[in-house]
Structure 1
Amino acid sequence: MIDYHKIKTVRFRTPRLEIYPERIRHNTAAIVSQCREKGVAVASVTKVTSAHPAVARAMVAGGAEMIADSRIENLWKLRQAGFTGPFMLLRLPTMSRAAEVVEVADISLNSSLTTMQALAEAACMQKRTHRVIIMIDVGDLREGVWPDKAVELVKQAAALKGLEVLGLGCNLACYGGVIPSETNMKLLVDTVKACRAASGLALPVVCGGNSSGLPILAEGRLPAEVNLFRVGEAIVLGRNVIDRSPWQGTRQDTVIAVAEVIEAEVKPSMPIGDRGQDAFGETQEFIDRGLRRRVICNIGRQDVVVDGITPVEDGIIVLGGSSDHLLLDVHDAKRDIKVGDEIAFYPGYGALLALSTSEYVQKVVIEG
C-alpha cells in the first residue's frame, strides 16, 4: 500500500480497492510456468475482480492461454475493452441467454443436453461453431453429470450441428470442498477414455478443475492426460486454496482494501444492556477485554465480507461490522489512529469478490 498517511492531499476516496497489475502478472507467469512444465494450460479466471480489464491484461501478459469468467456481463466487458479471447464461460449457461453465450464466449462448460441444444441452435443462427466442455461430477456435488451418464451425453452433444465437444472437465473444492486426488482425477480420465472409445471423438481437452488442482500437480501426482486448469484465486491472491497458505513463487499483496476512520473512541468491549439479534438476524458473542480504543471505518457488510479481511498492520483486530460500518480494536496498534486516517487490509477470496462487485468501493489501479 502507498503510505497515504504522509500525503497531505488525498488522491483517492475511500473505501477503495487498490489493484496492483504487475504483481498479478508476476503471479500469472509463475503459475503458468509451473503448469506448462507438466503439460497443463491455464485459463485465467477474472471473476473475483469482476473482470477488471487491468487484471485481465496482467493475466494475458503473464502468459495465460485464455480468459475465463462465470458472468456473461464480465465477458462482454472484456470484449468491449478490446480483448479478443479466447473466452470461456464458467457457469453453466441458461437457455434464455443461449444466443448471448454463443456470441460472447468461445467455449462454455455444460452438463445439460437441453441447454446444449439451445446453444447449437443459436450457433447455427449466427453461423458459428460453439465449443463445449462437458462437466463430470467426480464428488464435489456441484455441476456435472454422473460419470456413468457421460458417454451418452457426449454422443448426443456431438450430434448437434453448431457444437464441437472439446473435452470433459470437473469441478472440485467449491461446494463440497472435495480436494483433487489421484482417485477423482483417475475417475475423470477414465471417463474421458470411455467417451473417446464410444464416440470416436478426439476430446483433446481434459480440464482437471480450478486452483485446487495446483498442489497435486506440484507433487507430481496429476495424471498426464489432464491438460487444463481454470485458475483464479491462486493467481489473484497467491494462495493455495486448500488451506490458504501462500502459493510457491507468488505474491500475496496483489490487491489491498483501504477504508477511512470516521470515529475513534475508547469504549467498553462488551455491549451494555439486554441483547437480541443484530441487524442481520444473528446473535453475536463478545470477549470482555475491558476498555479499549476502537475505531469505526466507512465500509461494511454491503461492501465486504468482514471476517474475510486481515489488517495489514499489526495490533489491529477486526471486531465485526454492520451494513455500512466496520468496527476495529486499535488499542494495540503501533500508531495513534485518528479520525481521517486510512487503514489497509488484505482481502480473502470472499471479501475480494464483494469488494469488486460493490459500486460503493472505488477501484484504483496502481502500476509498478
Structure 2
Amino acid sequence: MFQVNLGFSRLPVKIGKVLVVIGLYPFLEINLSKLKQNIETLQKKCSQWMLKPVAVTKGFCADSKITDLLYDSGIQTFADSNISNLIKLIDRYGHKAQYQLIRLPMKEEIDVILENQIIPMVSQIEILNLFNQKAKQLHARSSVILAIETGDGREGFLPEELLNNIDQVVSFNDLTIVGIGTSLACLSGVLPQITTLEKLNSLRNQLRIFLHNPHLFISVGGTTFFSLWEEYSQPPPVGQIRCGEAFLFGSDISRKRNLNWLQQGAFHIEAEIVEIKSKLPDSTDRGFDAFGRACKISSENNYPRKRALVAVGLQDIDDTQLFFEDRNVTIIGATSNYLVLDCEESQHDYRIGDLVRFQAGYGTVLRAFLSPYIQKRYIE
C-alpha cells in the first residue's frame, strides 16, 4: 500500500567530530507476531506429519529477535550456510540446540566446525577424510550429513558414487554419519516428487546396513518439499525438513504459491520518494546498465511518462522481490541507490517526501538484513 509522509524525521549521528543527519528511511519492518504464528502453525503441521522442522536462518542473518521466536517455540535445530551465523547462535543458545552447516564446508573451516560441534553437509570423500583426520587429532568424533544429489545439479554425492565408495566411508572410524540430505528447487527449479523420497529412503536403508546405524535419518530442504505431505497421506519416512521460506513468508516460491495454512506479509520495505518528473529515455544508442544487464525500453508506452525515484536500491533490496499494492504503478527497475517507478497511470498524486511501502519477498529481505543502510523496525 502507499502511504504519505507526515513529516521529515531525522536522526543525528556523530561520525568522528562531525554531526551527520541520517534519515530513518529506508527501513525494513518485521512483524514478529505474524512470524510467531507461522512458527507455531509450522510446529503443529510438522508434528502431524512426523517431521522435525529445522530452521534455516541465512535469510535473515540469524537475527536474534527472530531466532528467539524459533527457540522459544521449541525449535531444536538451526541451519545456516555461514559459520559466523552459526557461531552467533551457539553463543546465544549454547548446546541446548543443534547446528547444521548447509553450505559445503571449506577446508579451512574444519577445525572451527569440529570445535563447535557443528554438523556439516559433505559431498566429497576427500573432505570426509579430512574431518576424520582432524577428529582423530582432537580426540573428538565428528558428526556429518552426506549430501545427496537428486536432480537439481547442485551439491551432493550421486547415489551410485556413494555406494561405490562405501568401503572407504565405512573406514572413517572417527566420523559418525548421522543422516543423508538433499535440496531441490534451488538452482535448476527441479521440484520434488514422491519418487525422490522413495529413492532417498532406499539409499538410507542400504546405508543403515553398511554403517551399522539404524538411526540414520533423511533431511530434505527446503519449503518446496511440504507439497508432498500436503498431497500424499503417507510419504516415505523423513526425519527432518529444513525450511526458512515457510515461516518467514508463508509461501513456496518454487511453485509461485502461498501456503494457505500460513500467513504472508511479515516483512515490508518503506522508503521515500526523492524525485517526481516526467521522463523520455533516449533510445538511440543502448548498451548495458551499471550491473551489466541488457537495457530495454518499450516502444508501446506513450512518453514522456511520470517517474518516481525512491531512495533505496540494489545494494539494499531485490527489485524483483518487491510487491506494491498500487496496481497502476510499475517497477521500471533499480540501480545501486534508486528504485524507479512508473506512476503515469496511477490515480494517486505522489509527491516528493511521500513514503512508499512494499511487501518484501525473500531476495529483498536477504539483502535488507545484509545492508547497513537499511534500518530495522520490529512490531509485535
The aligned counterpart of 1:22 is 33
Alignment equivalent of 1:53, drawn from 52, 64, 73: 64
Give the match's secondary structure for 1:100.
helix
Q: Which has the higher strand share?
A: 2
CA contact (8 A) 1:89 1:105 kept: no
Using a 3 Å threshold, how does the CA distance of structure 1 residues 182 and 346 change in structure 2: closer, same or farther?
Answer: same
Distance change in 2, residues 1:40/1:216 (3 Å)? same
Give the match for residue 18 of structure 2. Answer: none
Checking the alignment, whether the CA contact within 8 Å between 1:139 and 1:184 is kept in structure 2 is no
Cα distance in 1 for partners of 2:167, 2:353 equals: 63
The answer to whether 1:223 aligns with 2:235 is yes
Mean CA deviation greater in 235-244 or 280-289: 280-289
* Residue of structure 1 equivalent to 2:75: 64
How high is the sequence identity, in percent, across the aligned residues? Answer: 25
- Match of residue 327 from structure 1: 340
**SS of structure 1 residue aligned to 2:198:** helix
User: Gaps spanning 5+ residues in structure 2: where?
Assistant: 12-22
Query: What's the counterpart of residue 145 of structure 2?
Result: 133
Instruction: Give the whole-Å Cα distance in 2 for the aligned partners of 1:199 and 1:15.
Output: 53
Question: Residues 265, 79 of structure 1: CA spacing in aligned structure 2 closer, same or farther, 3 A cutoff?
Answer: same
**1:252 is matched with which residue: 229, 249, 264?**
264
C-alpha distance in 1 between matches for 2:355 and 2:238: 46
Once the two structures are superposed, the pairs formed by residues 94-105 of structure 1 within 5 Å of their partners are 94-105=106-117
Structure 2 distance, partners of 1:295, 1:171, is 40
Aligned to 1:36: 47
Note the C-alpha offset of 1:49. Answer: 0.9
Q: How does 1:1-368 map to 2 (within 5 A)?
A: 5-6=5-6, 9=9, 13-82=24-93, 84=95, 85-151=97-163, 153=165, 156-220=168-232, 223-268=235-280, 270-271=281-282, 273-287=284-298, 288-364=301-377, 366-368=378-380
For the residues of structure 2 that align with 1:14 and 1:105, how far apart are their CA atoms? 40
What's the CA shift for 1:229? 0.5
Over residues 70-98 of structure 1, what are the superposed CA-to-partner deviations in whole Å (9 max), with x where a residue is unaligned?
A: 10011122233445431111111111110
Query: Normalising by structure 2, what TM-score?
Result: 0.88
Q: 1:172 to 1:257 in 2, by over 3 A?
A: same
In structure 1, runs of 5+ residues without a counterpart are none
Q: 1:341–1:145: structure 2 CA closer, same or farther, 3 Å change rule?
A: same
Residue 8 of structure 1 deviates from its aligned partner by 6.5
Aligned residue pair count: 366
- Note closer, same or farther for the CA distance 1:64–1:323 as it changes in structure 2 (3 Å cut): same
TM-score by length of 1: 0.90
Comparing 114-123 with 343-352, which one deviates more in the overlay?
A: 114-123
